[in-house]
Amino acid sequence: MLSLVLMSVIYWIAAAFGFFLLALRSCGMAPDSVEMCDLTPIRIYVAVALIGYVGWAAPISFRFLRFR
């Protein structure tokens, strides 16, 4: 169970790093970039990361709880 928790933390750290890089690419670092920022690619990335996490962690958790 500890390995599942550790792997899920590593997954979300990688997803957060990808989110950060995508936000930098989409919005930039300029002070006025917030008004011009298109959030659609960021929302798509977050949705894909969430689906990937649920699709990966839910079956493993179900198997662990079923065989316990």
Band of the pLDDT at 67, cuts 50, 70, 90?
Answer: low
Residue 65 structure tokens: 């709880």
pLDDT of 3 strictly over 60: yes
**pLDDT tens, position by position, 11-65:** 888 888 888 887 777 777 776 666 677 778 878 888 888 888 777 766 776 776 6
Backbone angles phi, psi at 28, to 5 degrees: 85, -175
pLDDT of 68 strictly over 60: no
**Cα–Cα–Cα angle for 48, 53, 57, rounded to 5 degrees:** 155
Residue 25 structure tokens: 């690419």
In this prediction, residue 16 carries a pLDDT of 84
Per-residue DSSP letters for the chain? -HHHHHHHHHHHHHHHHHHHHHHHHHH-SSTTHHHH---HHHHHHHHHHHHHHHHHHHHHHHHHHHH-
- Domain ranges in the chain are 2-67
pTM above 0.85, yes or no: no
